């Protein structure tokens, strides 16, 4: 409970509500929203240095330096469209903006747009039903959410700490992304074979299986993890794994990830889908 608690005693409460809200109970969300508003007004009254701002562009001069005069809203679009590449952390001045985005309605809405389009596309395909029609899903921020971790680590504004992040992964407690889980079930019902392709290491296979199953991903054709002798960028490794997959006769009809490195490169799939993720960038 790092950043949030430093700012406001309401942080712990918000975090609990976050966990509930991931299951997307509308009532919990409404309470979260109200609590956030409350926390905001309290923070400004008490003059704390980092109140949580409502979701809107930050254009004060104090913020412009790090972003060369652009707003966090425009920064996020730049990131989502792959115009801004290779960034290491969320700009410090956008931490609160990204936090509000991730905890609010918009992240869920933006995800839903993507999975809706994916479902429409999938329904329109004529599957061969030979067991080779594949949909590829990335795992982190695509099927499982690490938001409970990132909510404690500046929503990507803190430098990445692999020790802490791996410890979180090893708890096996990442919730499902609700819109992705819905799509996963739809794809299974249509006859797709599911392949999970992740940058997680092979040594995390067991905890990953446990985590996936515990939140509703009960079956798949393959779970492909990164082996200790894979080297290069995520883009190169994932391209190579997809090439192997198609060499085995699988047809990648859909491919969904939160990173452009999930969906660019060779054998990308007949159609690709980019889920939102303003918290980190993987090459």
109 belongs to the binding site for a copy of itself (CB under 8 A)? yes
- Biggest CA–CA distance in the chain, Å, is 64
| Neighbouring-strand partners of residue 113 | none
Instruction: CB nearer to a copy of itself: give 30 or 113.
Output: 113
Site residues for a copy of itself, window 67-96 (CB under 8 A)? 68-71, 73-75, 77-78, 80-85
Nearer to a copy of itself, 222 or 271 (CB): 271
**Nearest-10 Cα torsion for 217, 223, 225, 230:** -160
CB of 194 to a copy of itself, least distance (A): 20
Residue 110 or 230: the one with the smaller Cβ distance to a copy of itself is: 110
Q: Does 106 bind a copy of itself (CB under 8 A)?
A: yes
32 binds a copy of itself (CB under 8 A): no
- Shortest Cβ 267–a copy of itself spacing (Å): 16
Q: Which of 2, 116, 210, 219 is close enough to bind a copy of itself by CB under 8 A?
A: 116
Q: Is 19 in the site for a copy of itself (CB under 8 A)?
A: no
Cβ 210 to a copy of itself shortest distance, Å? 31
Told to check if 31 binds a copy of itself by CB under 8 A, we report: no
Q: Is 244 in the site for a copy of itself (CB under 8 A)?
A: no
CB nearer a copy of itself, residue 147 or residue 275: 275
Convert residues 49-68 into a mask of x (bound to a copy of itself by CB under 8 A) and - (unbound): --------x----------x
Residue among 113, 185, 232, 244 that touches a copy of itself (CB under 8 A): 113
CA distance 145 to 127: 29
Residues that bind a copy of itself (CB under 8 A): 57, 68-71, 73-75, 77-78, 80-85, 106, 109-110, 112-114, 116-117, 273-274, 276
């Amino acid at each position: 409970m790092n950043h949030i608690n430093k700012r406001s005693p309401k942080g712990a409460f918000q975090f609990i509500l976050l966990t509930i809200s991931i299951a997307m109970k509308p009532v919990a969300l409404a309470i979260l929203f109200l609590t956030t508003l409350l926390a905001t007004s309290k923070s400004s009254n008490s003059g704390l240095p980092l109140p949580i701002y409502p979701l809107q562009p930050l254009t004060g001069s104090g913020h412009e330096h790090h972003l060369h005069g652009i707003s966090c809203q425009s920064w996020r679009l730049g990131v989502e469209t792959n115009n801004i590449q290779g960034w290491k952390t969320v700009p410090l001045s956008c931490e609160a903006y990204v936090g509000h985005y991730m905890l609010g309605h918009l992240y869920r809405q933006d995800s839903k747009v993507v999975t809706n389009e994916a479902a429409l596309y999938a329904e329109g395909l004529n599957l061969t039903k030979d067991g080779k029609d594949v949909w590829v899903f990335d795992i982190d921020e695509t099927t499982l959410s690490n938001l409970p971790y990132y909510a404690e680590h500046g929503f990507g504004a803190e430098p990445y700490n692999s020790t802490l992040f791996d410890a979180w992964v090893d708890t096996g407690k990442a919730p499902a992304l609700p819109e992705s889980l819905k799509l996963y079930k739809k794809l299974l019902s249509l006859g797709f074979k599911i392949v999970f392709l992740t940058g997680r290491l092979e040594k995390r296979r067991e905890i990953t299986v446990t985590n996936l199953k515990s939140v509703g991903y009960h079956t798949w054709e393959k779970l492909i993890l990164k082996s200790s002798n894979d080297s290069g960028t995520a883009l190169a490794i994932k391209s190579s794994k997809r090439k192997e997959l198609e060499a085995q006769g699988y047809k990648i009809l859909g491919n969904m990830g939160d990173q452009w490195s999930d969906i660019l490169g060779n054998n990308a799939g007949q159609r690709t889908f980019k889920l939102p993720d303003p918290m980190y960038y993987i090459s």
